[in-house]
């Protein structure tokens, strides 16, 4: 089923005359990881901001056939350096949205416990978030968004600030979460290996066209390149990556 539809989507920032996105089209299906790649400044974050409802766009932009007009708990956003509430504990941060939406404390406790388990931070539940490492903080940010059961997660370079080792672990975590929670994910990354590891679909932008120029299936999702011992497959993935790079650099 289709979750999001963008048709002839064009975006300008209110303080500028420049059209950042012009007439782009895409759809995101239920339970899909849609990864967007492209050069710096091409407009990836701008598309995410429109999806989040933070900025207004021209053309059609719908979720569940309803026009996106503003931020909404059904679209949870995770940034590269997500700000948590530093004076709250891990547990309180994750439960915050549910509390605001007046869920009962029993429901909140259950959901938070499940999520802390999922992200591997059960033992840190009473720590203040300023006491956490960057990777732990990003996991809390993801759990906080998941707590709301948002059908769509919007992630802008969520692991961009993490070291390669932590990053690989987070990619695995995202795939696990996605399988358990059955959410759809729109993710921006500049790391093509990450795109290939995580995406069902890979959408590509270049520096000139102001739109998504290609959306392709990714047959190599969930393959960990670090652990790959198959030369033929490695070569195929390498060619797949190079073809994407060509489109990005066009
Ligand atoms: N708040 C804003 N007001 C005006 N122009 C903006 C604003 N944010 C971004 N832009 C412009 O929109 C264009 C696209 O920016 P955007 O942040 O979407 O790029 P990006 O693809 O996410 O880049 P990066 O990979 O570096 O994050 C740039 O020319 C940028 O200067
Ligand atoms: Mg960006």
Domain count for the chain, please give it. Answer: 2
Looking at the fold, whether 125 and 10 belong to one and the same domain comes out as: no
What separation in Å is there between the alpha carbon of 44 and the centre of ligand 1?
8
Q: Is the CB of 36 under 6 A from ligand 1?
A: no
Residue 179's pLDDT is 93
- Residue pair 90/72 in contact (Cβ under 8 Å)? The answer is no
Looking at the fold, whether 170 and 241 belong to one and the same domain comes out as: yes
Q: Is the CB of 13 under 6 A from ligand 1?
A: yes
Q: Which string of DSSP letters, residue by residue, matches 80-127?
A: TTPPP-TTSBHHHHHHHHHHHTT--HHHHHHHHHHHHHHTT-GGGTTS
Looking at the fold, whether 132 and 100 belong to one and the same domain comes out as: yes
Residue 166's pLDDT is 85
Looking at the fold, whether 186 and 139 belong to one and the same domain comes out as: no
Residue 28's pLDDT is 98
**In the structure, how many helices (H) and strands (E) does the chain have?**
7, 10
Looking at the fold, whether 244 and 187 belong to one and the same domain comes out as: yes
Residue 81's pLDDT is 81
Q: Which domain holds residue 117?
A: 83-149
Euclidean distance between CA atoms 134 and 3, whole angstroms: 31
Shortest-distance Cα residue to atom 17 of ligand 1: 45
Residue 149's pLDDT is 87
Looking at the fold, whether 136 and 156 belong to one and the same domain comes out as: no
Of 149, 175, 195, the position where a domain reaches its end is 149
Looking at the fold, whether 99 and 55 belong to one and the same domain comes out as: no
Looking at the fold, whether 43 and 162 belong to one and the same domain comes out as: yes
Measuring CA to CA, which residue among 44, 19, 78 is closest to residue 203? 44
Of 127, 149, 171, the position where a domain reaches its end is 149
Ligand 1 pocket test: which of 39, 46, 51, 156 has the largest number of ligand atoms within 8 Å of its C-beta?
Answer: 46
Q: Which string of DSSP letters, residue by residue, matches 25-37?
A: EEEEETT-EEEEE
Of 105, 129, 149, the position where a domain reaches its end is 149
Looking at the fold, whether 7 and 111 belong to one and the same domain comes out as: no
9 phi and psi, to 5 degrees?
-75, 125
CATH assignment at residue 58: 3.40.50.300
Q: Is the CB of 49 under 6 A from ligand 1?
A: no
Looking at the fold, whether 191 and 105 belong to one and the same domain comes out as: no
Looking at the fold, whether 64 and 156 belong to one and the same domain comes out as: yes
Q: Is the CB of 43 under 6 A from ligand 1?
A: yes
Grouped pLDDT means (10 residues each) for the chain, 250 residues: 97 95 98 98 98 97 97 91 88 93 94 92 94 91 90 94 87 92 94 96 98 98 90 97 97
Looking at the fold, whether 8 and 19 belong to one and the same domain comes out as: yes
Pairing of strands 212-217, 201-205: antiparallel
């Amino acid at each position: 089923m289709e979750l999001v539809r963008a048709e002839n989507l064009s975006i300008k920032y209110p303080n500028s005359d420049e059209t950042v996105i012009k007439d782009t089209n895409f759809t995101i299906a239920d339970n899909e990881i849609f990864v967007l790649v492209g050069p710096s400044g091409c407009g990836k974050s701008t598309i995410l901001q429109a999806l989040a409802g933070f900025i207004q766009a021209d053309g059609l932009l719908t979720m569940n056939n309803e026009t996106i007009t503003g931020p909404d708990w059904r679209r949870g956003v995770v940034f590269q350096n997500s700000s948590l509430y530093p004076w709250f504990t891990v547990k309180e941060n994750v439960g915050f949205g549910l509390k605001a939406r007046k869920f009962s404390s029993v429901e909140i406790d259950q959901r938070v416990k499940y999520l802390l388990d999922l992200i591997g931070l059960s033992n840190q539940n009473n720590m203040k978030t300023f006491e956490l490492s960057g990777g732990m903080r990003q996991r809390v940010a993801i759990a906080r968004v998941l707590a709301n059961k948002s059908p769509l997660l919007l992630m802008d370079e969520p692991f961009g600030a993490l070291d390669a080792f932590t990053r690989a672990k987070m990619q695995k975590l995202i795939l696990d979460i996605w399988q358990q929670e059955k959410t759809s994910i729109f993710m921006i990354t500049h790391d093509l290996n990450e795109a290939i590891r995580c995406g069902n679909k890979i959408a590509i932008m270049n520096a000139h066209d102001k739109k998504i120029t290609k959306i392709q299936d990714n047959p190599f999702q969930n393959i960990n390149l670090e652990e790959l011992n198959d030369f033929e497959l490695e070569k195929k993935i390498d060619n797949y990556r190079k073809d994407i790079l060509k489109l990005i650099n066009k």
